[in-house]
Amino acid sequence: MRIAIIGTGYVGLVSGACFSDFGHEVTCVDKDAGKIDALERGVMPIFEPGLDSLVARNVAGRRLAFTTDLAAAVDGAEAIFIAVGTPSRRGDGHADLSYVYDAAREIAAALTGPTVIVTKSTVPVGTGDEVERIVRETVPAAQAWVVSNPEFLREGAAIEDFKHPDRIVIGAEDEQAAAAMREVYRPLYLNKAPLLITSRRTAELIKYAANAFLATKITFINEMADLCEAVGGDVQDVAQGIGLDRRIGAKFLHAGPGYGGSCFPKDTLALLKTAEDAAAPLRIVEAVVKVNDARKRAMGRKVIQALGGEARGRTVALLGLTFKPNTDDMRDAPSIAIVQALEDAGVKVRGYDPEGTEQARPLMPNVELFDDPYAAADGADAVVLVTEWDVLRALDLERIAAGMREPILVDLRNIYPPGEAEEAGLRWHGVGRPGRAG
């Protein structure tokens, strides 16, 4: 099939590369000429493991191309995916749909034949209705069907998720549109990926419901970690004990500094606004958002407590700055709030991240950034593990301790057993765990 993808951000680029790897003929469109030029030279705008080689292979195979010319890409395309950004709108938390609607108008004006227009961007319920209205208003006689096909990609594992998905959700209002989408995803037939056909509005809601539920699991175990610290329990054992229940499951039950990234923060806010507009408040999701926002700065206070409450003039090294490993994404990363809390208390902050340094720099202008975790820790009063990168899972703890001015380790991801850290000469502080061998 001939496919056009509007937007070369995270979702658009990964989707385009994977569709082309299935054998489809894909053209990715972006208004940013600099980004398109870089992509044509093989320079990726994001860090995602394996993406550069996947793009290069399919460009060489003439299955994947990049352009700023939307009309040329849309001409003759059998499926057109809208994969532009939907950030939180400044001031009210609503999803900013201006990019989606602008794309819909440009697509409609460029249509040359029957096609399916697919909203891949994460959008509030009812957006597909408006996209369809825009298309009909722009070109009343257009042979186009508007479909919702939400993405469920995890940053850092997006290619695997696309090629071996838990499910494919398609929201279509007629069988012709559904049939076209089955053809798009036909290459996944052998993988036996569950394909769920729903109404368009239901598909739009599934994406938000999924992210809100996962955010709730994270927030729940984080609050349980606080309770464990208060009463002497071990949150890792609690998580294992409840996670073995198949009704609950073990995933997203790892206590830490709170969720961040490009999806959970903005999607929970957008879902709350949708619920508010519909007079159907989501009290649980409201609590999740409030608790998570408070938790990030609370982690800064946790570091200050580990320093004995005396923070001014001290030096703290944060290891891992991105919101999760295997990405350079700094959007709503817990490290940002932690840095702010520490700097407000008079702490000199250092930082290290394997991939996120350039993205972190403008967000943390006063943080001294290092290319090596040991250099960042050298002379520090405390080291804080914020993101569980693989490179941070096997540090030489004795070397870390030997170089520090005061050997305090605040392990916000519970990467290291307390006993191992303490044997290396570090005073260990974790999340929801007693400071003992474990």
In tens, the pLDDT along 297-331 reads: 999 999 999 999 989 999 999 999 999 999 999 99
> What are phi and psi for residue 188, nearest 5 degrees?
-90, 5
CB 32 within 8 A of CB 38: no
Residue 66 has φ and ψ, to the nearest 5°, of: -130, 145
**Per-position b or e across 62-77, b if 16+ CB within 10 A of its CB:** ebbbbbeebeebbeeb
pLDDT (0 to 100) of residue 277 = 93
263 is catalytic: yes
User: For residue 34, what pLDDT is reported?
Assistant: 97
Question: What's residue 223's pLDDT?
Answer: 98
Helix, strand, or coil (residue 407)? coil
The pLDDT of residue 436 is 45
DSSP 8-state code for residue 410? E
* Residue pair 28/65 in contact by the 8 Å Cβ criterion: yes
Dihedral sign, Cα of residue 37, residue 83, residue 196, residue 112: negative
Report pLDDT for 437.
36
* 3-class DSSP assignment, residue 79: strand
Ranges of residues in the chain with a pLDDT under 50 are 436-438
E strand or H helix at 178: helix 175-184
Q: What per-residue confidence (pLDDT) applies to 259?
A: 97
What structural domains does the chain harbor?
2-198 (3.40.50.720), 226-429 (3.40.50.720)
| Alpha-helical runs (H) found in 199-306 | 200-231, 235-243, 264-277, 283-306
**Which of 18, 28, 228, 263 is labelled catalytic?**
263
Query: What is the Cα–Cα distance from 276 to 278, expressed in whole angstroms?
Result: 5
The per-residue b/e assignment along 361-379, b for 16 or more CB within 10 angstroms, e otherwise, is: eebbeebebbeebbebbbe
Return the percentage of the chain with pLDDT > 70, whole number. 99
Cα 62 from Cα 69, distance rounded (Å): 18
Q: What is the pLDDT of residue 94?
A: 87
